[in-house]
Amino acid sequence: MTGEDLLHLNLPLFDGVTAAALAGLDLNVKEKTLDAWEILFNQQDQDRDVYFLLSGTLLAVYWSMEGREVIFTRFPTGAYFGEIAALDGGERSLAVVARSASRVLMVSRQSFLDLIESVPQIRQRVTTDLVQRVRSLTAKNVELTTFSVEQRVASFLIRLAVERDCLEVRGVVEDAPTHAEIAASIGANREMVSRTITNLARRGAIKPSRRRIELCDPERLSEHI
């Protein structure tokens, strides 16, 4: 795949980058398809490629020694991930699993490092994204240590609506996470999340249905944070 082919994919990391900026780089890039629930890589794996989600749904997951599953993030289309292992040469800290059939773009570690070294726009975006991730993890840690389960669920739903650009009255989150996925994302159990979702619906804040959550009253939902 040439640099020009890469730009035609309209990946956010390459927004504004010209073909001329990539012309001198020898990029090792290829596509990979995943079936639903196939593992792309596991925690402590040694591969250091960087990936971009082209289509489908991927989850970044941590499995504890006791078998508990913690979902760290759900990648939006166009997102890149795996860059930490590429940057420091270490092993994978999380596993990435396909929630549905997915396509990813694989960029070799050396190609990714060459991009950072040669293209200032990409270097700046990667740096900014890493800083934002630190801020996000700090906020999540505060929630886990100070928020009740109800507050964590409400915060999760509002954050999800912001990410999907539907935080408004009658806004709808399509392909919504299951109660088990929400629980694994906020450090709770499925039963507590289910009770909270039911309570929020009873109070008129949301209207949940199968794989869909309608925001009936975002202000009422935010009152629970």
Local confidence pLDDT in tens for the 225 residues of the chain: 788 889 999 999 999 999 999 998 989 999 999 999 999 999 999 999 999 999 999 999 998 877 778 888 899 999 999 999 999 999 999 999 999 999 999 999 999 999 999 999 999 999 999 999 999 889 888 888 899 999 999 999 999 999 899 999 999 999 999 999 999 999 899 999 999 999 999 999 999 998 899 999 999 999 877
The domains of the chain are located at: 3-131, 146-222
pLDDT reported for residue 22:
94
The topology under which CATH files domain 146-222 is: Arc Repressor Mutant, subunit A (1.10.10)
Domain over 3-131 is classified CATH 1.10.8.420: no
pLDDT reported for residue 24:
86
pTM of the model: 0.78
Strands 102-107 and 171-174: unpaired
